[in-house]
Amino acid sequence: MHWIDIVAAIAAQRHSGMVCVTASVDNLNFHHAIKLGEVVTLEASVNRAFRTSMEIGVRVTAHGNAKFPERKANSAYLTFVAIDGDGKPQAVPPVEPETDDQRRRYTEALQRREVRLQARRQE
């Protein structure tokens, strides 16, 4: 989970050009166990940017041998907020999806955000 947060933070910082902090972790799913000795690859994408926050999707893949072929081990969605030197939220650049997959992730990010905001209002 620590690696997921780190790779998501790097993606958020590269997109925004600012220091970014974790605001939430959603849908952390464990699909398959990672076996000792396997190589792990983490890929992050900025699915959508809002005013000061961004949704980052992370996919974790385990690479084994013939007994344990490559497979998706984990996936998660995280929200990061860009901040200035005083810790105040800062506006981030928009995401411009180009592929069908990017457009799908872009649309679904808004749906997940609406669910998060609705849950927050009910607290």
* Sequence spans of domains, the chain: 2-122
What pLDDT score does 77 carry?
97
What is 2-122's CATH topology?
Thiol Ester Dehydrase; Chain A (3.10.129)
Task: Confirm if 59 and 43 have CB atoms less than 8 A apart.
Answer: yes
Residue 122: phi, psi to the nearest 5?
-85, -10
Instruction: Return per-residue pLDDT of the chain as tens, 123 residues.
Output: 999 999 999 999 999 999 999 999 988 999 999 988 889 999 999 999 999 999 999 999 999 877 767 899 999 999 999 999 999 999 999 999 999 999 999 999 999 999 988 988 888
Burial of 49 (0-12, 13-18, 19+ CB in 10 A): buried
